[in-house]
C-alpha cells in the first residue's frame, strides 16, 4: 500500500468500524515515535464515538506538548485489508496546524507486523 507524503511526513488512510458504522479516516500520520494510535475526536464522532463517564482518560505527552484523550475499544481498525479486531484507540483533539485525521502508532504497527519501505514509499503487513 502506498504512503502519501505531505509536509515531509508519511500518511495513510485508515478505516474504523464501531457499532455497525464504518468510516474512512484520511491523513493518518504513520509515526514510529508514537506509542499509541490516536484518532481525531471530530472524525470519531461521525462513527458514533463520544466520551462517556466510564471511559478511561489519559494524558499524552509529545514534542508538541500534551493533550487529553479517552480510550475506546473499536470493532476493527484497518489499513486497507489489514486490520485488528477489538482494538483500543485513543480519541482526542488533534490540532497540529495542518489537517490530520489521526496518528498510526507503534501499538498498531507492531501488532500488524508492519513493514515500512521509505524507498518504495510503501507499507505492507505480515498479518
CATH of the domain at 20: 2.40.70.10
Q: What is residue 43's predicted lDDT score, i.e. its pLDDT?
A: 95
Q: At 15, phi and psi to the nearest 5?
A: -125, 130
Q: Tell me: the pLDDT tens digits for 71-86?
A: 999 999 999 999 999 9
Q: What is residue 66's predicted lDDT score, i.e. its pLDDT?
A: 65
Strand partners, 71: 56, 90
Q: What is residue 102's predicted lDDT score, i.e. its pLDDT?
A: 95
For residue 100, the enclosing domain spans 4-125
Q: What is residue 29's predicted lDDT score, i.e. its pLDDT?
A: 95
- Cell reading at 51: 466520551
- Cell reading at 18: 464501531
In terms of Cα–Cα distance, which of 99, 44, 87, 32 is closest to 69?
44
Q: Tell me: the pLDDT tens digits for 50-77?
A: 999 988 888 766 556 667 899 999 999 9
Question: Domain tally for the chain?
Answer: 1
Q: What is residue 96's predicted lDDT score, i.e. its pLDDT?
A: 66
- Cell reading at 66: 500534551
pTM for the complete prediction? Answer: 0.90
Amino acid at each position: 500500500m502506498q504512503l502519501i507524503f505531505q509536509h515531509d511526513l508519511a500518511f495513510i488512510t485508515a478505516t474504523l468500524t464501531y457499532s455497525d458504522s464504518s468510516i474512512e479516516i484520511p491523513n493518518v500520520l504513520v509515526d514510529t515515535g508514537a506509542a499509541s494510535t490516536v484518532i481525531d475526536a471530530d472524525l470519531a464522532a461521525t462513527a458514533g464515538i463520544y466520551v462517556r463517564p466510564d471511559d478511561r482518560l489519559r494524558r499524552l505527552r509529545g514534542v508538541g506538548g500534551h493533550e487529553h484523550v479517552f480510550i475506546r475499544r473499536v470493532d476493527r481498525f484497518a489499513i486497507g485489508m489489514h486490520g485488528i479486531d477489538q482494538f483500543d484507540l485513543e480519541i482526542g483533539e488533534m490540532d497540529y496546524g495542518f489537517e490530520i485525521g489521526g496518528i498510526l502508532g507503534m501499538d498498531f504497527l507492531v501488532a500488524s507486523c508492519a513493514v515500512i519501505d521509505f524507498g518504495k514509499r510503501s507499507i505492507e503487513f505480515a498479518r
